[in-house]
Amino acid sequence: MLGLFYFMRITIITLGLVSLLITGCANLRPLSSKPPESAIVLKSPAKFPGFLYTVTFPAGEYHPLYEDDGGYYYQAPAKVIGHDILTYMLDGGLYVERTNSEPTKWYVIDPQNGQKSMGRCTSLPEHTLIP
C-alpha cells in the first residue's frame, strides 16, 4: 500500500515537472491588458479529470488576476480540491485564451513548490460571463 502511495506521488511530481517544462516559458505577470470578461460565474462546482487525479472547482465568481502571452488566469473564489489517494486544497482557477471569451483550461498551483499545472475544461457546468 505504501509503495502505491509513493508511486502516485512520484507520478504526480513527474507530471508536474513535464507541465512546468511545457508551460514554464509562459511569462506570467499581473494584468496589464483588459481581459475579455470581468468575471466568470460558475453556477455549480466543476470537476475535471487529470492524469491519476481529479480537481474540483467551487461554484462562484472567478476574477482575472494574472495573464501570460496566451491568455488570462481567473482565480477561483475559494480553494480548489485535488483528489488522488489523498485530498488537497490548492489555489487555482480557470484560464481564458486571448482568442476566446470562454474558459478553455483550468489551472492549479502546488503549494509546496509554486508549480502550475493545467488541464482542459472538458465540460464546464452552467456559467455566466460578466462583461
Residues 42-91 pLDDT 10s: 999 999 987 788 999 999 999 999 999 999 999 999 999 999 888 989 99
**Residues 6 or more apart in contact with residue 55 via CB below 8 angstroms:** 47, 48, 80, 81, 82, 83, 90, 92, 106, 108, 119
78, 37, 98, 25 alpha-carbon torsion, rounded to 10°: -30
For residue 40, pLDDT over 70 is answered with yes
Domain count of the fold of the chain: 1
Q: Measure the CA–CA gap between 106 and 73, rounded to whole angstroms.
A: 9
Residue 54 domain boundaries: 2-130
What is the reported pLDDT for 27? 82
pTM: 0.77
Amino acid at 75: Q
What is the reported pLDDT for 17? 43
What is the rounded average pLDDT of the residues 100-112?
91
